[in-house]
Amino acid sequence: MKHLLLTLLFFCSLYAKDYTQKREVQAFIDDLIIHDRFQFLYLQKLFQNVQKQNVPLRFFSKKKHKPTPGAIKRYPVHGAWDRYVRLKVTPKRIKEGADFVRKYRDIFQKAEKTYGVPKEYIAAIIGVESLYGKNMGKFPVFDTLVTLAFEPNRRNKFFKSELREFLQLCHKNGINPKNVKGSFAGAIGLGQFMPSNYEAYGVDFNKDGRVSLLHPHDAIASIANYLKKNGWRRGEPVATRVSYCGNRFTQCKTGYNRTYFRSRLKNIFPKNGKWNYHDKVRLIKLDRKAYDELWYGAKNFYVITRYNHSAYYAMSIHQLAEGIKQYRKYGKIYLSQK
């Protein structure tokens, strides 16, 4: 039933809609003409022929359900990390990551030297975001952003801003907005950058006069630049697993936004002995089926969460990067999922 509904939503999205009939769109077009020097006829033609994207709209229109008064409080189902990591960190993705690093070895070495971000972490982000370029998205970015900007949903303001950035990006680089494909949220390229990130972090690494995150040269450097500008510290670790008493950790609050002096965390120690990191740490708790897995997260772990605001995402990047590093070094798959 779910697949049938998504199929129907997809086919419904194939019918073009004239968005110039909306007053809000007319005002948006006028603003682009006044402040960004776009041509009226060019914008009219774009906005008169938009295929409404119902699948992305359905995702962002979801409302959080409030608990029913008097409902029975259920115990949590454990194992969230088990389910998450099995999808993100796999032997196949590790091997393909090592192959990707080898294929673009010179670019990775140059980016690592320039920005101080290890090549394995850059590759891991590309692996999680786009399967090393094999899945960069099939949604028309312009139509998706127009739909999300002007159809009611919980992030209209954000997507209106991204639509403006996307049109400016296309205009600057001589790209037809109708020809760009991306994710259901309008993210583009190997690293799945939103349009606003092009201007802020995009790098023309191959010096061809344009930033193209569909190209490995620019994508690799732009991801490294993103992490560097968000505070990546050259030569410092990312995370290490720690031990604690018991199976479920409740001693203190966890999460990437909360930091602790290690001296104040009693009976918590790195499992691999001495950890060469002397700044405050984050406690990262991973919910497994039978127990909580606990990690120290360094500043660089927090930096990864700036790419995607999720501790699970950042940990999957860390473990995939470590897996790629070990495979490149020893030729064997390394999985720290136990």
Residues 215-248: tens digit of each pLDDT = 999 999 999 999 999 999 999 999 999 999 999 9
User: Which stretches within the chain are classed as H helix?
Assistant: 2-12, 23-36, 40-47, 54-60, 80-88, 91-103, 105-115, 119-130, 141-150, 156-173, 195-201, 216-229, 299-305, 311-330
Answer left, alpha or beta for residue 166, where phi above 0 means left and psi between -120 and 50 means alpha.
alpha
Architecture of domain 78-136+215-338: Orthogonal Bundle (1.10)
Q: With beta carbons less than 8 A apart as the criterion, state whether 316 and 326 touch.
A: no
Question: What would the two tokens of residue 286 be?
Answer: 């991973």
Identify the segments of the chain with pLDDT beneath 70.
1-14, 62-76, 334-338
Catalytic residue from among 129, 151, 293, 322: 129
State how far the Cα of 240 lies from the Cα of 246, in Å rounded to an integer: 19
Residue 77 is predicted with a pLDDT of 85
Q: What is the pLDDT of residues 293-313, one digit of tens each?
A: 999 999 999 999 999 999 999
Backbone phi, psi, residue 215, to 5°: -100, 130
Which residues, 6+ apart, have CB-to-CB distance to 167 below 8 Å? 32, 36, 38, 142, 177
Residue 13 is predicted with a pLDDT of 46
Please identify which residue in the block is written with the tokens 């454990």.
Answer: 78
Which residues, 6+ apart, have CB-to-CB distance to 153 below 8 Å? 57, 60, 61, 159
Domains of the chain: which residue ranges?
2-52+139-187, 78-136+215-338
- 282: DSSP letter: E
Residue 74 is predicted with a pLDDT of 60
Q: With beta carbons less than 8 A apart as the criterion, state whether 120 and 227 touch.
A: no
CA atoms within 13 A on the CB side of 286: 26
Question: What would the two tokens of residue 322 be?
Answer: 């470590």
Question: Comparing C-alpha atoms, which of 282, 326, 288, 333 is closest to residue 79?
Answer: 288
Q: What is the pLDDT of residues 43-83, one digit of tens each?
A: 999 999 999 999 999 999 866 556 556 555 566 689 999 99
129 is catalytic: yes
Question: Comparing C-alpha atoms, which of 61, 65, 64 is closest to residue 153?
Answer: 61
Residue 61 is predicted with a pLDDT of 85
Residue 337 is predicted with a pLDDT of 46
Q: For the chain, how long is the longest CA-to-CA vector?
A: 68
Selecting from 1.10.1760.20, 1.10.8.350, 3.60.10.10, 3.40.50.300, what CATH number does the domain 2-52+139-187 have?
1.10.8.350
Pairing of strands 292-297, 281-287: antiparallel
Residue 181 is predicted with a pLDDT of 97
3-state helix, strand, coil in the chain (%, to 5): 50, 10, 40
